[in-house]
Each structure stands twice: as structure tokens, then as C-alpha cells.
Amino acid sequence: MHGGDVSSDSSKPVKTNGMPLVTDEEKVKASLKIPIAFTFISLAIGTGIAFAIYEWGAKSKYDANITAVIISPPGEGLCFALAHG
């Protein structure tokens, strides 16, 4: 056995060091799962924090700034909200 495959009790073949043999297709699928999961998890956490700050914070002040951004001419709303918030 010179670094070849060794079969175990499971249906997946393993290397002599005990690690499973993984095809390139399986590697690509696995490599995409983690970044996608982290993206959605961080988005959910950030949205939850933002919602909590909005609901339990100075809601009238936030509403005024949101209104100022929405009704202002393009490019001026954010500057107004930051300067007067």
C-alpha cells in the first residue's frame, strides 16, 4: 500500500491516512457552501441588530432622517440626514 486507496466499512472510499477521497466536483460544492452560509447569517444578524436599534431607539429621529432621505433631491438626502441627525 503505497498511498493508494483503502476501503473501509462505509461506502465512501478513503485514503491510507483515513481521509475520504473527494472528487473535484464535491470540492467545488463544499467550497461554495461556507461563503454563502456566512453571507446569509451575517445579513440576518445585521438586520436583527438594525431592527432592534430602530424599534427600541429614538424612532421619531430615525423616521425624520428616513423621510429626509426619501423626499430630498438625488444626492442631497444622505448629506442632509447626516448633518442634521
Q: What is the pLDDT along the chain (85 residues), one digit of tens a residue?
A: 445 544 445 577 888 888 888 888 888 888 888 889 999 999 999 999 999 999 999 999 988 888 877 776 666 656 665 666 5
What is the number of structural domains in the chain?
A: 1
pTM of the model: 0.51
What residue numbers bound the domain in which 9 lies?
A: 5-84
Q: What is the pLDDT of residue 80?
A: 60
Residue with cell 467545488: 28
Q: Give the three-class secondary structure for 28.
A: helix
Dihedral pair phi/psi, residue 29, rounded to 5°: -60, -45
